[in-house]
Amino acid sequence: MKATTPEPRILGSVDLPSVRESVSRARSEVREWLGVDHPMVDDIVLATSELVTNSIKHSDSSAGDFIGLTLSATMEIVYVEVNDPGSIFLGPHVRKEPDAEDGRGLLIVGEISLEWGTREHGRGLGRTVWCAIRATPPPDDPSTPEPVSE
């Protein structure tokens, strides 16, 4: 019999106005839901900030629309999900232009996440961009030597 993974528990969910100031509120909400002593709070807040920013900047949302933010977790993984109206253009992607002045949000999310992705809900129904981050820091690499103090 195959072991099942537990269903993630929702830690918090909020609808945010699709305005720049909502990014700060999203960070605050996540800190409150996790608690400031959570071992991965900084990475999770950073990923949230990047996903909400991208949603506001790159979806077809306007100031009267809302962006949904949901944080859920198992014992091993914290999931950040951002729902927006989607876009008629290409979906979220990592920019590959080395000289671009912006557009590094998903690159950052990819670096701090175990994985990230999108779910398109159908024409006019929006999209969810999500990422999965370890709930605890990865174990130290035993092959890395300890720093030597002088």
* pLDDT (0 to 100) of residue 148: 53
* pLDDT (0 to 100) of residue 139: 77
* pLDDT (0 to 100) of residue 93: 44
* pLDDT (0 to 100) of residue 90: 56
* pLDDT (0 to 100) of residue 19: 93
pLDDT per residue of the chain (150 residues) written in tens, 0 to 9: 555 667 999 999 999 999 999 999 999 999 999 998 999 999 999 999 999 998 988 888 877 899 999 999 999 999 999 999 877 665 544 455 555 445 567 888 989 999 999 887 777 678 899 999 999 987 765 544 555 554
| Long-range contacts of the stretch 133-136 (C-beta < 8 A, 24+) | 133/40, 133/43, 133/44, 133/47, 133/77, 133/78, 133/79, 133/80, 134/40, 134/76, 134/77, 134/78, 135/39, 135/40, 135/73, 135/74, 135/75, 135/76, 135/77, 135/78, 136/39, 136/40, 136/76
Output the pTM of the full model: 0.80
